[in-house]
Amino acid sequence: MASDISAKIVKELRDKTGAGMMDCKKALQSSDGNMEQAIESLRLKGLASADKKASRKAAEGLIDSYIHTGSKIGVLVEVNCETDFVARREEFQTLVRNIAMQIAACPGVDYVSQEDIPLDIIESEKQIESKKDDIANKPDNIKEKIVEGRIQKRLKELCLLDQTFVKNQDITIDELIKQSIALLGENIQIARFQRFTLGLKYLFFSTFLCIIYIENMYNLFKEGV
- C-alpha–C-alpha distance, residues 24 and 30, integer Å: 10
State residue 59's pLDDT score.
74
Q: Is the pLDDT of residue 208 over 70?
A: no
Q: Is the pLDDT of residue 48 over 60?
A: no
| Mean pLDDT, the chain, whole residue set | 82
Q: Is the pLDDT of residue 204 over 80?
A: no
Give the residue among 72, 119, 107 at the shortest CA–CA distance from 194. Answer: 107
Residue range 175-184, pLDDT digits in tens: 999 889 888 8
Q: Where are the domains of the chain?
A: 7-54, 60-117+159-223, 120-151
Q: One fold for both 7-54 and 60-117+159-223?
A: no
The residues that bridge with 67 in the sheet, in sequence order, are 74
Residue range 165-175, pLDDT digits in tens: 999 998 999 99
SS3 state at 5: coil
Q: Is the pLDDT of residue 218 over 90?
A: no
Sorted by sequence, the CB contacts under 8 Å of residue 157 that are 6+ apart come out as 108, 109
State residue 205's pLDDT score.
43
- C-alpha–C-alpha distance, residues 51 and 179, integer Å: 11
Specify the higher pLDDT residue, 159 or 58: 159
Residue range 120-149, pLDDT digits in tens: 888 888 888 888 888 888 888 888 889 889
- Burial environment of residue 215 by CB neighbours within 10 A (0 to 12, 13 to 18, 19 or more): middle
- Between helix 140-158 and helix 119-130 the angle, nearest 10°, is 130
CATH of domain 7-54: 1.10.8.10
Buried-exposed string 64-89: b where 16+ CB fall within 10 A, e elsewhere: bbbbbeeeebbbbbbbbbbeeebbeb
Mean pLDDT, residues 12-22 taken together = 75
pTM of the model as a whole: 0.65
The band of 55, judged by pLDDT with boundaries at 50, 70 and 90, is low
State residue 129's pLDDT score.
85
Q: Is the pLDDT of residue 157 over 90?
A: yes
- C-alpha–C-alpha distance, residues 211 and 98, integer Å: 17
- The CATH superfamily assigned to 60-117+159-223 is Elongation factor Ts, dimerisation domain (3.30.479.20)
Q: Is the pLDDT of residue 211 over 60?
A: no
Specify the higher pLDDT residue, 49 or 183: 183
